[in-house]
Amino acid sequence: MSLISREHAPALRQGFRLQWEPRQDCHVLLYPEGMIKLNVSAGQVLDLLDGKRSVAAIIGLLSASFPNVPDIDEDVLTFLEVARAQFWIE
């Protein structure tokens, strides 16, 4: 069972910024103490967080973009739980 509600509209925590880093060839999450290099799917999920779009809407967008990925909703929910536990999102 997920702790993240599908109705919740997560956003990056204040002080965090997502950006594409050409030298790293990936998205990175910048924060005052450093940088986190993200894999492709993590960057795609975090790029959709705006504090207005619900988790359900984010899952819908990703499901439409990747129709052949089974259980994408559970993957997104699991990642968001990790991101929340790491204090990347609120």
33: in domain: yes
Question: Into how many domains does the chain fold?
Answer: 1
The C-alpha atoms of residue 5 and residue 54 are separated, in whole angstroms, by 9
pLDDT at site 3 = 82
Q: Does 12 map to a domain?
A: no
Domain span at 70: 17-85
Task: Give the mean pLDDT of 58-77.
Answer: 96
Mean pLDDT of 64-70: 95
Task: Please check the confidence at residue 2 and state whether its pLDDT lies above 80.
Answer: no
Q: What is the pLDDT of residue 1?
A: 53
pLDDT, one tens digit per residue, over 24-60 is 999 999 999 999 999 999 999 999 999 999 999 999 9
Q: What is the pTM of this model?
A: 0.92
Q: Residues 6-34: what's their mean pLDDT?
A: 96
- Answer whether residue 34 is part of any domain: yes
38 falls within a domain: yes
Q: Is 27 exposed, middle or buried (0-12, 13-18, 19+ CB in 10 A)?
A: buried
Selection from 40, 51, 43, 39 nearest residue 12 by Cα: 51
Does residue 6 belong to any structural domain of this protein? no
CATH assignment of the domain containing 28: 1.10.10.1150
Residue 2 lies in a domain: no
